[in-house]
Each structure stands twice: as C-alpha cells, then as structure tokens.
Amino acid sequence: MNKTLSVQAIKNGTVIDHIPAGQGVKILRLLDLYSNKTRVFVGLNLEGKKQQKDLIKMEDTYLSDAEIQQIAIFAKDATINYIKNFEVDGKSKVDVPTSIKEIFSCPNSNCITRSESVVSEFKVHQVGKSIALQCKYCEKSFDHEDLESKL
Amino acid sequence: MSLKQKDLVSIADLSTDEISLILDTAEKIKQDPASVSSVLSGKIMASCFFEPSTRTRLSFEAAMQRCGGSVIGFSEARNTSSAKGETLSDSIKVISPYVDAIVLRHPKEGSARLAAEYSQKAIINAGDGSNRHPTQTLLDLFTIRECQDKLDSLHVALIGDLKYGRTCHSLVEALARFGARLYFVSPESLAMPQTICDKLKLAGAKFSFHRDLSEIVDRVDILYMTRIQKERFGGGEVQGDLSGCMLNAEKLKNAKPSMRVMHPLPRVDEISTDVDKTDHAYYFQQAENGLYVRQAILKLLLGA
Ligand SMILES: [Zn+2]
C-alpha cells in the first residue's frame, strides 16, 4: 500500500502531500482546519522520498486557488491529490504566487500597515530554495517563518 | 516621457531615463535659477512633517518658493489631528484636495506608499521611517555626476553606519544601475545588510568589505561618509573600531586629485574640519544641490 495513504483512507476529499516536516501544523492553522467541521487526518514526520514530510487529508473538502497559493508559501513542493471514491482522481502541484494579499500581517512593528486598516500585500521572491516575502509598504523582506497569519 | 502627477515614493519606482530627466532638469535650474522663478506660480505644496526634520523641510519649502509656488504645512504631529488619533489615510484624504503636491515625512516605514494610494495629488516621500528618502538619493546622484562628469562605472566607497543608514541603502541600489564598483567600509557590527547585498548581486554589482578607509582611498572616485549614531550602541566596544571610518586631511594624501568627499550632513566628528579646506571636500555643494534637485522634482511632478 502506498505510504501516502497509510494514515487513514478518505472516501472523497483532498490530500496535501509532500509538505516539509514541521510546516503541516502551520498549514492546518492557515486553513483554519482546527475549528471547522471537516474531518481531518494528519500525518507528521512521515518518511518521504528525500526527507521527512507532513501530510494532511481532508474529507469532503476542496481547496480554493487562493488557499493553494497560501500553501505554496509554506510548502512550495507540495502536491494536492483529489480523492474520489477512495481513488486518486487528479493531482496538481502548488504554484508559488507572485504576490499574496490580505493573509499575513507585516512582522515589522514599525510598518504603517500595523497601525492603519489596510490590506496587506507581499511580493513573493524565490531566492534559491527558499521563499522571501517583501512587504509592499515598508519594503522589508521576510522568511515565511517570520509570518503570522492574520486570519 | 513625463513625470506629471507621478508619486516619488522610492527610487526603485523610477526608470533610469526618468532619473536622468530629473538630473538634467536640476542641472538647467542650477545654471539658470531665474528661468524657473515663476514656473510654479499659483501652485501649492503641502509640507507634512509628522516628525521633525528641519533641514529637509527648509530645502523643500525653499525649492517650492524659488519656483514661485507657495507652501502650507506643519512640522511634528503633536498639535495636529494625528495626535487626536486620526489615521494617515484620513489626513491625506483631507489635505490632498487643498494642494498640488504633498511632501511627506513620517516615522513609519511604508507611510509614503500608503499615502500615495489615498492621494489624488503627487506624494513626495521625504523619509518614511528607516525605509526610503528618494530626494536625498537623487541629490547624491546629481552631485556625483556633477563632480565626476559622469555616473557610469565609478568607484564609490561608503563609510560608516551602513546597517541602519537608509541613505546608503537607496544610494547603492541606484549606483548599481549605473555599473558602479562599490566599497563598504564599516565596523563589522554596522555592515551592509545581507538583503541589500543580495539585491546588489542580483543586479550584477561588484562590491567588497573593508574596516579602514585607508585600504581603498587611493582607488575611489567618491568617498561617501556617513554619521555613526553612537547612541545605537549600549557599550563602548564599537568605539575602538571606528577609527577606520574617520576622515582627516592626512588620510587623503594618496587620493586621486579628482576624488570628492560627500556626506549627507549633519556631520559630527567623522570628517575633521581640516578636510574642508582641501579640494576633495564637496559636502557643502552637495547640500546646496538639494535645492536644485527638489526644484526639478517639483517642476516635473507638477507638470510645469
Ligand atoms: Zn511592512
């Protein structure tokens, strides 16, 4: 049996696979999967092809394009599997967006966006293997580790 | 090409041609100040200084008045509506219909970008926290071009607080566009930040790090000195390192005759006064040039 599916099979829904170990919990928080009524199965620190990975399975839940873009910030190599009747019915890679609005607040405490009600916006740069987000307003750059979700 | 009603928030927003247009316009104004003495008559500039910066404010206000325009404004937010809790976006919405351009100085980074989104009139960033101060960068570029007769492929050293000095960050990014070879002289604790170095690498710029300006004084065209704010350090451990960032006339003896020393002023003790009498000193001309460059910016942004 495929290792990916060793957590718990779902009948219909979505599997986010190949999340770097440690980022799965952040994605759960980002997608607010703690509080809504979705049945969620989580695998942490599973054995991956190259390194340890996290895995999230959501029953009867499908992601919007915006949500997939947010996942890409934390796990740019993640794959999204669509499950239908216990079978993989389609796969897609996540795409790192060129900019991301509204989701994160700027970590710079002296940034104007921290004291005015304004839609946050970051330009996303891929520097080698890592992703840097640059605030459109204060122009400071951050690692995804620095970012806290606004939601 | 026109800069009419454009905002000036960050030097990175300007194309190289737009930078050249501003510098050429400033050069014409410097040669013949009378030619623009009434070019902005009937126009009003708001000078909105949410934190004090007397020198920058005077330079902008003089520039507007020397073009025949008039000025309204305030300095320090203590007595204004922002002290009563008004947001910057509301202040800008109220002020922008009154005037033709707003010069904004604000303690928070990103304030000018935000203001530009809410203003129907041109916003000129006169410093947003530790982020940008594009008119300083433009007057620096103007001064470098003036004293070296070119901007391309120069050897430029920046000395002092390269970590917190926003002047240096914008200037090196701009110089990289003109193919400059850069030398960074600072104590290790005040070195040029990695994020800026990454950008310079991406732009293909060559640069190196040094502890003492004597290592590079014989090969540069410009020594750009900056003030080290000693209050940034709790202890005295950096003090010993600072001698390599101090300049006196003796240290200039191996410099090229055409080499010029610049400084955004005010200086404290990083340039001793015996340098003032040498042919290398150019910081007072640099300060004067701020007037012509700001006149040029106002003229172009207001479409005159
Ligand atoms: Zn910011």
- The complex's ipTM? 0.89
CB within 8 A of A150, min separation 6: which ones?
A102, A103, A104, A105, A120
From B6, B25, B43, B56, active-site residue: B56
Kindly identify which residue of chain B lies nearest to residue A118, measuring between CA atoms. Answer: B114
- Our answer to whether residue B84 is catalytic in this structure is yes
Is residue B4 a part of any domain in this protein? no
| Closest residue to A112, CB basis, from B110, B130, B132 | B110
Contacts of B105 in chain A (CB under 8 A): none
Sign of CA dihedral B124, B128, B131, B136: positive
Higher pLDDT, B65 or B268: B65
Kindly identify which residue of chain B lies nearest to residue A116, measuring between CA atoms. Answer: B87
Kindly report the CA angle at A89 between A84 and A93, in degrees rounded to 5? 125
The pLDDT of residue B233 is above 70: no
pLDDT band of A32, cuts 50, 70, 90: confident
Full-model pTM: 0.88
Containing structural domain, residue B159: 134-287
Is residue B176 a part of any domain in this protein? yes
How many DSSP H helices and E strands does chain B contain? 8, 9
B222 and B143 co-located in one domain = yes
From B6, B121, B132, B133, active-site residue: B133
Strands B222-225 and A121-127: unpaired
B200 and B88 co-located in one domain = no
Contacts of A123 in chain B (CB under 8 A): none
In one-letter notation, the amino acid at residue B276 is D
B198 and B254 co-located in one domain = yes
Q: Do A112 and B195 touch (CB under 8 A)?
A: no
B106 and B163 co-located in one domain = no
CB B297 within 8 A of CB B8: yes
Instruction: Please give the share of chain B, as a percent, with pLDDT higher than 90.
Output: 86
Q: What is the pLDDT of residues A84-142, one digit of tens each?
A: 999 999 999 998 899 998 888 999 999 999 999 999 999 998 877 778 899 999 999 89
Chain B interface disruption, residue of A112, A118, A121, A122, most B CBs within 10 A: A112
- Measured CA to CA in angstroms, residue B17 lies from A124, B4, B13 at distances of 27, 15, 12
H/E stretch holding B66 reads helix B54-66
pLDDT band of B1, cuts 50, 70, 90: confident
Q: What is the pLDDT of residues B181-216, one digit of tens each?
A: 999 999 999 999 998 998 899 899 999 999 999 999
Contacts of B114 in chain A (CB under 8 A): 112-113, 116, 118, 137
Q: Do A110 and B106 touch (CB under 8 A)?
A: no
B127 and B217 co-located in one domain = no
B269 and B144 co-located in one domain = yes
B156 and B282 co-located in one domain = yes
Distance, in Å, from the CA atom of B266 to the CA atom of B275, rounded to the nearest integer, reads 15
The pLDDT of residue B151 is above 90: yes
B40 and B104 co-located in one domain = yes
- Our answer to whether residue B206 is catalytic in this structure is no
Q: What is the pLDDT of residues A44-55, one digit of tens each?
A: 999 888 889 999
A vs B, Cβ pairs < 8 A, gives 54
Q: Which whole number is the average pLDDT over A68-73?
A: 89
The pLDDT of residue A3 is above 60: no
Q: What is the DSSP string of B70-97?
A: EEEEEESSTTSGGGGT--HHHHHHHHGG
Q: Which residue has the tokens 């540069």?
A: B220
Kindly identify which residue of chain B lies nearest to residue A110, measuring between CA atoms. Answer: B108
Distance, in Å, from the CA atom of B144 to the CA atom of B156, rounded to the nearest integer, reads 9
- Measured CA to CA in angstroms, residue B132 lies from A45, B62, B137 at distances of 43, 22, 9
B141 and B264 co-located in one domain = yes
Q: Which whole number is the average pLDDT over A6-34?
A: 87
pLDDT of amino acid A1: 45
Is residue B2 a part of any domain in this protein? no
Contacts of A111 in chain B (CB under 8 A): 108-110
B114 and B95 co-located in one domain = yes
B175 and B205 co-located in one domain = yes
Q: Which whole number is the average pLDDT over B82-91?
A: 86
The pLDDT of residue B300 is above 70: yes
Distance, in Å, from the CA atom of B41 to the CA atom of B215, rounded to the nearest integer, reads 51
- Our answer to whether residue B105 is catalytic in this structure is yes
pLDDT band of B166, cuts 50, 70, 90: confident
What's the mean per-residue pLDDT of chain A?
A: 87
Q: What is the DSSP string of B170-237?
A: HHHHHHHHTT-EEEEE--GGGPPPHHHHHHHHHTT-EEEEES-GGGTTTT-SEEEE----GGG-SSST
Q: Do A116 and B87 touch (CB under 8 A)?
A: yes
Kindly identify which residue of chain A lies nearest to residue B112, measuring between CA atoms. Answer: A137
pLDDT of amino acid A65: 87
Q: Which whole number is the average pLDDT over B7-19?
A: 96
Is residue B5 a part of any domain in this protein? no
pLDDT of amino acid A146: 79
CATH number at residue B181: 3.40.50.1370
B168 and B127 co-located in one domain = no
**Total domains, chain B:** 2
Distance, in Å, from the CA atom of B45 to the CA atom of B297, rounded to the nearest integer, reads 12
Question: Residue B75: what are its φ and ψ, rounded to 5°?
Answer: -130, 125
Higher pLDDT, A126 or B173: B173
What's the mean per-residue pLDDT of chain B?
A: 93
**A→B interface, C-beta within 8 Å:** 106, 108, 110-113, 115-118, 127, 135-141
From B6, B57, B105, B294, active-site residue: B105
**B→A interface, C-beta within 8 Å:** 10, 87-89, 106-111, 113-114, 128-132, 195, 198
pLDDT of amino acid B26: 98
Kindly identify which residue of chain A lies nearest to residue B9, measuring between CA atoms. Answer: A137
Contacts of A117 in chain B (CB under 8 A): 87
Residue A89 CA to ligand 1 centre (angstroms): 41
- Measured CA to CA in angstroms, residue A141 lies from A108, A138, B100, B194, B252 at distances of 9, 9, 33, 11, 38
Q: Do A139 and B10 touch (CB under 8 A)?
A: yes
H/E stretch holding A101 reads strand A99-101
Strands B222-225 and B155-159: parallel
